[in-house]
Amino acid sequence: MATDELVVGAVVTRRELHERYGGTPQGGISPSTKSRMVMVFVAHGPTPHDLTGWGDDGVFHFTGAGRHGDQEMTRSNLALLRHAEDSRALHLFHQLPMSTEGRTHRHLGRFQVDPEQPYYRADAPDANGDVRTVIVFRLRAVGATADGGPRLPVTPARETRILRTLPEPRIEPARLRVQESPRVTAGRLTAVYADHLRSLGRDVSAAQVRVKGEPGIAHVDLLDTTENRLIEVKHNATRQSVRLAIGQLMDYRRYFNPTPTLTLLLPSEPREDLLDLCASLCIEVVWPSPEGGFVSTHD
């Protein structure tokens, strides 16, 4: 049977497809020399961190092969990238929920790897939960497509944008509880400090940074536009938290013009060595004062 006999929207089993067209029965990418085609199989419900699905750009984004470690452009990934060069038609199939007929797939249609931007790289956890670099292919439809397939929660931005957002819902100041979660501690501290800044006449909000080509969103805890300050908030004053905050602040700063000053807000005074570390990078450190208000290393 020729590949042009594949009907868009048809429901088939993977076993049937391989019997007709060849290809490998395992994995999401199945190249076949028998029928000069590459079949791509999409899981019914990708994991929350799987960068596979329809994007707002009208392109189907598909995470490449490789369950452990950084993905490489070899084997099936390379076959997918070179499908047009190798004169192989590319067909996309979406797995449907299990039924009495067993595991079936809907043929979403014929696609091609986008010739202008074939793929991009992104961070995502592997099968063990360890963060690694993955290859995300950009597949454009060739002709009609069937309904179905997952959608990306966030489509990579075409240009870097900064969006001011409403702050998190107000968390009333209260004595910190022993069982209070890190998120609640950071949220409470953020709200109290934002109120403090507004009482001084500052214009304060949160912000999102959408980076060109990146599927994630960077969240800036507080943005003091009056003084042009980026403020990162952590739930404790450990070395790990301070080092993480430094990396985030340095990363975010690149996207703002004019270049902002940097502030790290902590629930307590950090150790002297950590204060020296922040001072060496010209990062202000702020924490609540036992007498009320806040202490700043820039005072």
Predicted local confidence at residue 298, as pLDDT: 93
| 168 lies in the same domain as 136 | no
Q: Point out the least confidently predicted range of 44-48, 65-69, 186-190.
A: 44-48
Q: With 90 as the cut, is the pLDDT of residue 284 above it?
A: yes
Give pLDDT tens digits for 142-176.
999 999 999 998 899 888 888 887 665 555 544 54
pLDDT band (50, 70, 90) for residue 188:
very high
Beta bridge partners of residue 42, listed in sequence order: 94
One domain for residues 168 and 102: no
- Strands 119-125, 218-224: pairing kind: unpaired
Asked whether the CA dihedral 109, 110, 113, 117 is positive or negative, the reply is: negative
Written in H, E and C, the secondary structure of the chain is: CCHHHCCCCCEECHHHHHHHHCCCCCCCEEEECCCCEEEEEECCCCCCCCCCEECCCCCEEEECCCCCCCCCCCHHHHHHHCCCCCCCEEEEEEECCCECCECCEEEEEEEEECCCCCEEEEEEECCCCCEEEEEEEEEEECCCCCCCCCECCCCCECCCEEEEECCCCCCCCCCCCCCCCHHHHHHHHHHHHHHHHHHCCCCEEEEEEECECCCCCEEEEEEECCCCEEEEECCCCCHHHHHHHHHHHHHHHCCCCCCCEEEEECCCCCCHHHHHHHHHCCEEEEEECCCCCEEECCC
Same domain as 229, residue 187: yes
Q: Amino acid identity of 74?
A: T
Q: Are residues 199 and 117 in the same domain?
A: no
- Here the contacts of 48-51 (C-beta below 8 Å, separation 24 or greater) are 48/153, 49/124, 49/125, 50/124, 51/122, 51/124, 51/134, 51/136, 51/152, 51/215
Q: Which amino acid is at 228?
A: N
Burial zone of 196 (CB within 10 Å; 0-12 exposed, 13-18 middle, 19+ buried): middle
Is 154 inside a domain boundary?
no
Q: Quick one: pLDDT band at residue 1, thresholds 50, 70, 90?
A: very low
Distance CA 32, CA 29 (A): 10
Structural domain tally of the chain? 2
Is there a single domain that holds both residue 75 and residue 117? yes
Is 148 part of any domain?
A: no
Q: Is the pLDDT of residue 2 over 60?
A: no
**Domain assignment of residue 184, yes or no:** yes
**CB within 8 A of 130, min separation 6: which ones?**
none
49 and 13 co-located in one domain: yes
Residues 6+ apart with CB under 8 A from 74: none
- Taking residues 59-73, what's their average pLDDT? 95
Over residues 28-35, the mean pLDDT reads 93
CA gap 205, 46 in Å, rounded:
34
- The tens digit of pLDDT for each residue in 209-263 reads 999 888 888 999 999 999 999 999 999 999 999 999 999 999 999 999 999 999 9
pLDDT of residue 252: 95
Domain that includes residue 21, residue range: 3-141
Out of 112, 141, 170, pick the residue that ends a domain: 141
Q: Are 127 and 140 in contact (CB under 8 A)?
A: no
Confidence of residue 128 (pLDDT cuts 50, 70, 90): confident
Same domain, 207 and 252: yes
**Is 155 contained in some domain?**
no
